[in-house]
């Protein structure tokens, strides 16, 4: 009989990871079973737990994940938290909850298990239950301050701001030099748009921990929200010290340009970073580099290819691949405003995106032929289950389509057209038959198609996702349905942003409550539809 050796990353762990991310749980489990007896191999036990969970074997999954947890030398999160990046992306949350039910039978007094479970509850919009489980954990745990901070953060993310602040302030009194508490207080004040108070707390935290990149990044976003642009751009470079950012050499990162910096004939590679919305926003800066004589190549996702090729100055465009082409300087899209010392009040960019004329004509024939106001709708972003921060952000910015029913029903002289892609698109099937939303998105291949549709519309109504940037960059009329704790680019307390002057902002007046936004949007849309009807009759 052939003896099976202890597996390495190359021979089994990496290939299994790929299968699990693809959702091929049965094949992954079959490949893992010969290694089941390696009970001191923590990665193998974790992968077995994930594979069993995906195959709907919760007892086996819980056993192996709890075993993996016991093997960790310095655990900072429970092994069960590994389930969401794999199963969540395939919307298998019901299987995840089954595993937690079994895990609590095995480790009923493990604080990290309670925290992991509270997180998954929070991600699935069950904040009340998440709060309950942290309170249960507080009953038996000796780590009171640590758990109270977690409880406050869950309350904060659930929009229960006064309760969260009360706990944060209590913890600050107990330890005024706790960096995490100071950073959380900064986040709180930033969320309620008290930027100056938030900056005070961020600076206190930075004095205590000056090289902690996540705090510096959040500080930069607060500076940008306060419209301290130059300092904000500079601070935002700390994101390059966090995971999943550029791996290209820091020494060839494009420096901040002055009026005398000569980039004539220099090859500058601009690289995709973070979400498509950021790329769409920062494409506005590319023509300035070309105007100064640089040879610009954009390295972007396939969906962006057509739009990028039509940027003023005609940059070269590279799609996909892992090997960077030759360059003198490289620059992630999000570093462009820092390199160019950008200020929206000094630079007028709109429109800077150009739709494909052939696509415009193609979609004109596909869309409903109506004299009514044609309105594009986007109600959800991309949750990215592997990224907890992205999940929470999506929960805050996205609105269930059913909450837009008052708008869809009330405005009779408007034709609604879905521009929704991805995770939230299925919600259109939940509408009753008396509500009509035309859905062309099954034929959409890329951002070029979406741009072609938008150019045939009178208005786009969207939450804060890539389509609102696309509409803004095209110079289209748009309404942003914005969350209470708005992103910096949408300017707190304002109805318009200098970044997108044709986008009207309607913002929540209470955290996580959309009813007032929908009511105001309905009234505004009715006015616009009536005006459109008068012009066309």
CB 537 within 8 A of CB 477: no
H or E stretch covering 332: strand 329-332
Who contacts 447 (Cβ-Cβ below 8 Å, separation ≥6)? 276, 280, 303, 304, 306, 307, 466, 470
Neighbours of 302 (CB within 10 A): 11
Using one digit for the tens of pLDDT, what is the confidence trace for 258-278?
Answer: 999 999 999 999 999 888 999
Q: Which CATH architecture best describes the domain 177-243?
A: Alpha Horseshoe (1.25)
> Quick one: what percent of the chain has pLDDT higher than 90?
85
Using one digit for the tens of pLDDT, what is the confidence trace for 123-142?
Answer: 999 999 999 999 999 999 99
Tokens of 316: 């070269």
Query: What class has domain 250-339?
Result: alpha beta
pTM of the model: 0.91
Cα–Cα dist 161/156, whole Å? 5
How far lies 279's CA from each of 85, 223, 299, 327, 535, in Å? 24, 20, 11, 20, 36
Of 33-37, 440-444, 450-454, 496-500, least confident by mean pLDDT is 33-37
Q: 24: phi > 0 → left, psi -120 to 50 → alpha, else beta; which? A: beta
Which DSSP category does 244 fall into?
S
Burial of 492 (0-12, 13-18, 19+ CB in 10 A): middle
Cα–Cα dist 89/382, whole Å? 11
5 falls in which pLDDT band (50, 70, 90)? low
Query: Does the pLDDT value for residue 472 go beyond 60?
Result: yes
More confident position, 7 or 152:
152
444 falls in which pLDDT band (50, 70, 90)? very high
Question: What is the residue extent of each domain of the chain?
Answer: 177-243, 250-339, 357-536
> Quick one: what percent of the chain has pLDDT higher than 70?
98
H or E stretch covering 270: strand 267-271
144 falls in which pLDDT band (50, 70, 90)? very high
Which DSSP category does 434 fall into?
T
Query: Does the pLDDT value for residue 9 go beyond 60?
Result: no
Which fold would CATH assign to domain 357-536? Answer: Rossmann fold (3.40.50)
Using one digit for the tens of pLDDT, what is the confidence trace for 205-225?
Answer: 999 999 999 999 999 999 999
Using one digit for the tens of pLDDT, what is the confidence trace for 187-204?
Answer: 999 999 999 999 999 999
Tokens of 323: 């090997």
Cα–Cα dist 79/75, whole Å? 9
Q: Helix (H, G, I), strand (E, B), or coil: what is residue 484?
A: coil
Which pLDDT does position 71 carry in this prediction? 92
Using one digit for the tens of pLDDT, what is the confidence trace for 72-97?
Answer: 988 889 999 999 999 998 989 999 99
Give CA angle at 97 (92, 100), nearest 5°.
135
- The overall average pLDDT reported for the chain is 94
Query: Does the pLDDT value for residue 1 go beyond 80?
Result: no
**Do the domains 177-243 and 250-339 sit in the same CATH topology, yes or no?**
no
Which pLDDT does position 386 carry in this prediction? 67
């Amino acid at each position: 009989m052939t003896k099976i050796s202890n597996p390495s990353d190359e021979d089994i762990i990496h290939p299994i990871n790929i299968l699990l991310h693809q959702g091929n749980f049965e094949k992954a489990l079959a490949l893992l079973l010969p290694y089941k007896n390696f009970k001191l191999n923590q990665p193998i036990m974790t992968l077995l737990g994930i594979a069993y969970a995906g195959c709907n074997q919760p007892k086996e999954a819980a056993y192996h994940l709890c075993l993996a947890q016991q093997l960790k030398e310095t655990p900072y999160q429970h092994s069960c938290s590994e389930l969401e990046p794999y199963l969540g992306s395939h919307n298998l949350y019901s299987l995840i909850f089954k595993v937690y039910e079994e895990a609590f039978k095995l480790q009923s007094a493990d604080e990290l298990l309670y925290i992991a479970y509270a997180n998954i509850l929070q991600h699935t919009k069950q904040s009340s239950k998440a709060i309950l489980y942290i309170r249960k954990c507080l009953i038996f745990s000796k780590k009171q301050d640590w758990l109270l901070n977690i409880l406050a953060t869950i309350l904060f993310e659930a929009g229960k701001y006064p309760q969260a602040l009360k706990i944060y302030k209590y913890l600050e009194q107990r330890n005024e030099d706790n960096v995490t508490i100071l950073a959380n207080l900064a986040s709180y004040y930033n969320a309620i748009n008290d930027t100056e108070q938030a900056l005070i707390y961020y600076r206190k935290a930075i004095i205590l921990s000056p090289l902690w990149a996540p705090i510096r990044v959040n500080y930069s976003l607060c500076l940008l929200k306060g419209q301290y642009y130059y300092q904000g751009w500079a601070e935002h470079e700390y994101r390059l010290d966090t995971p999943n950012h550029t791996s290209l050499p820091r020494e060839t990162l494009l420096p901040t340009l002055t009026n005398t910096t000569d980039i004539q004939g220099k090859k500058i590679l601009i690289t995709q970073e973070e979400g498509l919305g950021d790329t769409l926003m920062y494409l506005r800066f590319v023509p300035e580099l070309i105007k100064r004589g640089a040879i610009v190549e954009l390295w972007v996702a396939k969906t962006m290819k057509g739009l990028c090729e039509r940027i003023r100055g005609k940059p070269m465009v590279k799609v996909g691949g892992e090997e960077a082409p030759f360059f003198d300087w490289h620059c992630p899209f999000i570093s462009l405003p820092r390199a160019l010392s950008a200020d929206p009040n000094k630079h007028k960019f709109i429109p800077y995106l150009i739709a494909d004329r052939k696509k415009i004509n193609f979609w004109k024939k596909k869309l409903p032929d109506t004299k009514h106001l044609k309105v594009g709708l986007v109600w959800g972003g991309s949750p990215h289950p592997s990224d907890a921060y992205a999940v929470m952000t999506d929960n805050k910015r996205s609105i269930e389509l059913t909450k837009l029913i008052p708008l869809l029903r009330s405005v009779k002289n408007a034709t609604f057209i879905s521009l929704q892609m991805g995770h939230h698109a299925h919600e259109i099937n939940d509408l009753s038959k008396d509500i009509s939303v035309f859905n062309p998105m099954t034929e959409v291949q890329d951002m070029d198609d979406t741009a072609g549709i938008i150019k045939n519309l009178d208005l786009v109504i969207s939450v804060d996702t890539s389509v609102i940037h696309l509409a803004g960059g095209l110079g289209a009329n748009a309404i942003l349905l914005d969350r209470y704790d708005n992103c910096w680019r949408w300017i707190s307390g304002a109805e318009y942003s200098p970044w997108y002057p044709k986008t009207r902002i309607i913002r929540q007046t209470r955290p996580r409550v959309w009813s007032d936004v929908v009511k105001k949007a309905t009234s505004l849309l009715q006015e616009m539809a009536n005006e459109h009807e008068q012009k066309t009759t």
